[in-house]
Amino acid sequence: MRVGLLALLLLPAVAAAAEVPVWSEEFNTPGPPSASTWSYDLGAGGWGNGELQEYTANEDNVRVAGNVDGAEGGALVITAREQAGKGKNRRGFTSARLRTQDKFHFKFGVLKARIQVPNVANGLWPAFWLLGNNFSTVGWPASGELDIMEMGHRDAISAGVVNRRVGSAAHWDFNGDYAGYGRFADAPADLTSGWHEFSIEWTPDFVETRIDGGWIWRIDIANPQCGCEEFQLPHFIILNLAVGGYYPGITSANGITAPLPAEYKIDWIRLYANEHTVMGGGGGPSAVVVDSIAAGVTGRKRVKATADLSLRDNLGDPVAGAQVTVQFTGGYNESVQVTTGSDGSARAQSSGSGNDVPFSACVTAIDSSLVYSGSGDCDTYP
């Protein structure tokens, strides 16, 4: 949510993270956002950016809606509205800003969100970003900030591409002074008419952002010239829709021409682990993953197929009481359901027996209170 440029070295691409989320927010329960995950920034005063709106927690400004058109279920809806201003300000605005501070934070991994932005022309400023988890103690910019997606920049307004241009940036403390590095990417068409996937890949060596798989921006955070140790520490998630400010270059209410009310919609947010991912916070578990699966056999002449498996949640704890469907293929071709024990483990076994022949065992479904988005959780015997 800040602006500044400092050129840094870039790195070549590396392998993407696993395609099973270790944490997710699906926004499928209508009503207010989950209090176990989300808190609000409230009030006016510009937020250090010359913003014109007042942030509220009112349902008129923020809610989870069910059956949103084009969403994969429900969606978080942040709505910017116009209201009568006070004193000389004849126009006033309200909106919302949500954060996972003290409830969920992480460092490293691939974070993705499926988003539909409103018409931002001119004066709206939607953002999806990360702020250092130590912000409350060290302040900004020493906390570090990673902007995954921002729209509505003043240069995009001047160029006539404000609904096509996406910005990403990093902000940090460099020897006691502010440092920042950002870039923009222009989509071939307006981004306001459909859903788009915005993502950040974060490792100890680099940070990279993308839209619909296409590259936006990349920074080398391992380069000693960077001095950006902030990005080796956990960050939390922020979603907000600002009205006016230094970013769009509009600090007068009369300069806001974007259609209001305006809805900023988030279908889901999902974190995929890489080998460095660390998570924490007070929020409860939200996703389940197959920690391990091993195919085997039991018996001698007429053997039965087995699959020993273990489940854990996105916080690393065992998942008990989950009903798991395992599909045996090859010489057995049978679907079996088992329930995990207190240690998160279970053994699936075919009811039929046969010869000792090759087969595969795959988890096809997990029935629990946590989200399972897995695929490819299989093992082959022998």
Among residues 233, 227, 225, the alpha carbon closest in space to that of 175 is found at 227
What would the pLDDT profile of 61-87 be if each residue is shown by its tens digit? Answer: 999 999 899 999 899 999 999 997 666
b/e per residue, 49-66, with b = 16+ CB within 10 A? bbbbbbbbbeeebbbbbe
Predicted local distance difference test score (pLDDT) of residue 285: 64
Give the pLDDT of the chain (382 residues) as one tens digit per residue.
644 333 333 333 333 444 779 999 999 999 999 999 999 999 999 999 999 999 999 999 999 999 899 999 899 999 999 997 666 657 899 999 999 998 999 999 999 999 999 999 999 999 999 999 999 989 999 999 999 999 999 999 999 999 999 999 999 999 999 999 999 999 999 999 899 999 999 999 999 999 999 999 999 999 989 999 999 999 999 999 999 999 999 999 999 999 999 999 999 999 999 989 988 876 556 678 888 999 999 987 788 999 999 998 766 678 889 999 999 998 788 999 999 998 899 999 998 887 778 889 999 888 887 777 676 789 998 8
Going along the chain from its start, the domains and CATH numbers come out as 21-280 (2.60.120.200), 288-381 (2.60.40)
Measured CA to CA, the distance from residue 175 to residue 159 in angstroms comes to 35
The answer to whether the beta carbons of residues 307 and 294 sit under 8 Å apart is: yes
Q: Tokens in use for 302?
A: 């007429």
Burial class (CB in 10 A: 0-12, 13-18, 19+), 137: exposed
The predicted structure's pLDDT at residue 330:
85
Q: In what order do the strands lie in the sheet with 334-339?
A: 334-339, 323-328, 359-367, 378-381
pLDDT of the residue at 347: 96
CA angle 290, 28, 372 (to 5 degrees): 10
Q: From the CB of residue 67, how many other CB atoms can be counted at a distance below 10 Å?
A: 10
The catalytic residue positions are: 145, 150
The answer for 282, left when phi > 0, alpha when psi is -120 to 50, beta otherwise, is alpha
Whole-structure pTM value: 0.72
Q: Rounded distance, CA 144 to CA 279, Å?
A: 17
Q: What is the pLDDT of residue 13?
A: 37
Q: Check residue 11 and give its pLDDT.
A: 33
